[in-house]
Amino acid sequence: MKHVRHFTPSLFLNLVHVCLVQANYAPYFFDNGARSTNGNMALLSLSEDTPVGTHVYTLNGTDPEGDPVTYGLTYEAGSRRYFSVDRNLGNVTLIEELDREKEDEIEVIVSISDGLSTVSEKVRILVTDANDESPEFINTPYIVQVPENIHANKFTIDRHSGVLRIKTGVTLDYEKSRTHFVIVVAKDGGGKLRGDNKVFSATTTVTVNVEDVQDTPPMFIGTPYYGYVYEDTLAGSEVLTVVALDGDRGKPNSIRYCLVNGSEGSFEISNTTGAISVIKSPNQLKKEVYELKVQASEVSPEGDISVYAFAMVTIRVVDLNNHPPTFYGENGPQNRFELTMYEHPPEGEILRGLKITVNDSDQGANAKFNLRLVGPGGIFRVVPQTVLNEAQVTIIVENSAAIDYEKFKVLTFKLLAIEVNTPERFSSTADVVIRLLDTNDNVPKFSSDYYIARIPENSPGGSNVVAITATDPDSGLWGEVKYSIYGTGADLFLIHPSTGIIYTQPWAVLDAEVNSKYNFYVKAEDTDGKYSLAEVFITVLDVNDHSPEFNENIQEKTMIIGSPVKIEAIDQDAEEPNNIVDYSIMQADPANVFDIDQSTGEIKLKSYIRSLDIIHNITKNKDCIWSVVVQAKDRGSPSFSTTAVLKIDITEETLHKGPMAAFLMQTKDNPMKALGVLAGVMGIMVLITIMISTAMFWRNKRSNKIMPVRRIIKKRQPQPSRTVRMEWLKFKRPSNAAEKFVVEDDAQSLQNENSNNNVQVAPVPPAAPVPPPPPALASSGDAPGWRVPTVSGSLTPKFINKQLKKRGHSSAHNALVSELKMRFEKRNAAIGEPHI
């Protein structure tokens, strides 16, 4: 049924106000008792032979507010469905055959709804037994003799007078049987009078015709009656015709029709034909279903109404689906709704600022439609999702995190209403616009978790190092970021609180040689104190601000022909190439004598110079000492260099080869090292002697056998020459400075004899000499005796071989000691220590 409402503006507003404050009460069923055919189906009984398709009951209820109600039938899971219901009329129809022998009770859940509230009740329907099982005879056939005069009928006869009468309590019905046939048998007195025992009889048939009387009320034909009024039906149109007949068929009376109730002024009936017509236009009909009570009365020829009967006529107003769903605001139809709210509302919150109502003016299934939101998914949900006729639309927050001002300043959705079960599938849409307000929900975020910067050393104070960037997507003051710096490595640096530029302190001096790495943290903070951190790594770049410096012992070198000497300069710069040193010879006289390795600083003679004789042919300088100007230059830009004058004393190998000679040659320029090694060797010899003596002492002490003291005098053996134990070190008178030592080892033991390497491996010292026998009692006139060994462990012979005396042993020894002393004094003078 279509509802058309005409309101004045003030009345409309008043009605809306009432709807907003009035509480909604749930609908309910009428409880009309166990034998009622309408209500809530409680205690309904049905015979098991009820035909399928029979209208067995009518659900009936009401809503306290007068809203239209709908009905429903549901079953427990797994239960069989026996009934269906018309949602709008409540008519319950049997759709499945009943069988009491299989199921004698049926449980059904009946429901009534006003669109907002639904009430459900569980009812039980009883299935009663019917005579639907035919009896079955056994031991057939049966043969029974029945007297002929036993006949059950509606008549009796006086056996003497022959008067035929109707039995007491029996009535004849013209409508059921108009004629009755009665067989009458007449018998005589029998053989008792004649003495022959014979009986004679005569049979006749009596026809009894029943005369009709006015005793049966009229009967309606074709019940139940249903009619339909469509939305386009014109007023005055005939809806349906009811027919009633006089129950007395012999002399039927005429029938007159009238409407008893249920019309409500919307319908009328022809009193002669029984045609029912609608007298209002369909849009003026107030109800969807009308129940009309029709009376059919018999009218006698005299015009009197004798008997009458009643019938119910159901007329349904059928809606045409010609109205789409429509959205309403507080002031009427509306297709755009707007709301302003803060971002990140709690999930489950209702957007109460949106006042949306949706309505479909059609009726029944034509007014059923679905609601859904079209737009960014998963953010909001709409309730209800299915609507019948009209509902208040509610939008609920489903995903709070997605309602983000930084992502969407405005959220726009389409609210779609589309019909469900109509061929037309009418629909309508409304725009829902949600404008978001910002909150401080973000933390400032750096563009990187760490920053790496480089700055040259010696940069002036206040120099910019690196720009740190952090952003806060919040708006206004919440999006302003302030920077600060802290950490142990931040002492030399400052940061601008607004721009994030890191620069050096005004007094800061950066030196890569002192500290080339700095590490600290920066903090970005908004006005509410929310912050994040990032780490800063600063490398101080080396600048070539140091010149190479030669070490202390560069002034004088001794070069053995065939072996190089090495010079070394150190550049204090921190990084390459500033600290890489290249060596070169700037000046030498003559110039074509030496070569120098550019990278290592090793100086050696030209490959063609293999002896002192060749050198003598080059220069007239007989002492073979050269002054060479060498340069150490770094590879920085600009480059720095240092020059030094190096005196090179060239000698030639003349000593016999041996480890001791090689060691002395290697330590010629470092006398303290030689003295230290010799003292260590002597200490080891003394320690070994003590250990041997201790072991012999304990061995003798532990012996259990005491031997008598005996004095055994043996003849002294000739004293062997001790020169053989000194063969590893032989002295000779040198002819020049290059012939101070004679070394017997091979050439491999002389590698890098004059190189100034940082690590020198001392040669293995010679084995300790065997201690001499005890001195003789008789003293010798000229030969000095053996001296007691010193604490350093050295042993000095008391006599000297004549051959050694001839070779000038004393002079060679004095020359070596004098040279070592001279070099030691030079070293002390260079480092400022007092002379010995």
Strands 450-456 and 531-541: parallel
pLDDT for res 576: 86
C-alpha angle 421-422-426 in degrees, rounded to nearest 5: 115
Average pLDDT, the chain: 77
pLDDT for res 447: 94
In 654-739, DSSP assigns E strands to: 655-656
Residues 6+ apart with CB under 8 A from 698: none
Helix (H, G, I), strand (E, B) or coil at 138: coil
pLDDT for res 660: 64
Q: What percent of the chain has pLDDT over 70?
A: 72
**How far apart (Å, rounded) are the C-alpha atoms in residues 56 and 160?**
57
If 0-12 CB within 10 Å is exposed, 13-18 middle and 19+ buried, where does residue 449 land? exposed
Least confident interval from 110-119, 272-281, 751-760 = 751-760
Q: What percent of the chain has pLDDT over 90?
A: 34
The backbone torsions φ and ψ at residue 145, rounded to the nearest 5 degrees and listed phi first, read: -95, 120
Cis peptide bond N-terminal to 224, omega within 30: yes
> Which H or E run contains 814?
helix 809-831
According to DSSP, residue 833 is labeled P
Q: What is the mean pLDDT of residues 583-612?
A: 85
Q: What is the mean pLDDT of residues 579-603?
A: 87
pLDDT single digits (tens) 729-776:
333 444 443 343 333 333 333 333 333 333 333 344 444 344 444 434
pLDDT of 621 > 60? The answer is yes
Rg over alpha carbons for the chain, rounded to the nearest Å, is 69
pLDDT single digits (tens) 433-490:
999 999 999 999 999 999 999 999 889 999 999 999 999 999 988 899 999 999 988 9
Give helix 671-701 / helix 809-831 axis angle, nearest 10°: 120
Helix (H, G, I), strand (E, B) or coil at 750: helix
pLDDT single digits (tens) 31-88:
776 677 888 887 788 888 899 999 999 999 898 888 899 999 999 888 889 999 999 9
- Residue whose C-alpha is closest to residue 682's, from 797, 792, 796: 792
pLDDT single digits (tens) 120-148:
888 888 888 876 555 554 544 434 333 33
pLDDT of 258 > 50? The answer is yes
pLDDT of 505 > 80? The answer is yes
Helix (H, G, I), strand (E, B) or coil at 700: helix
Largest CA distance in the chain: 222
Confidence of residue 188 (pLDDT cuts 50, 70, 90): low
- Residue whose C-alpha is closest to residue 151's, from 200, 185, 189, 174: 185
**How far apart (Å, rounded) are the C-alpha atoms in residues 107 and 234?**
44
pLDDT of 257 > 90? The answer is yes
State the DSSP string of 426-472: -EEEEEEEEEEE--S----EESSSEEEEEEETTPPTT-EEEE--EE-
According to DSSP, residue 754 is labeled B
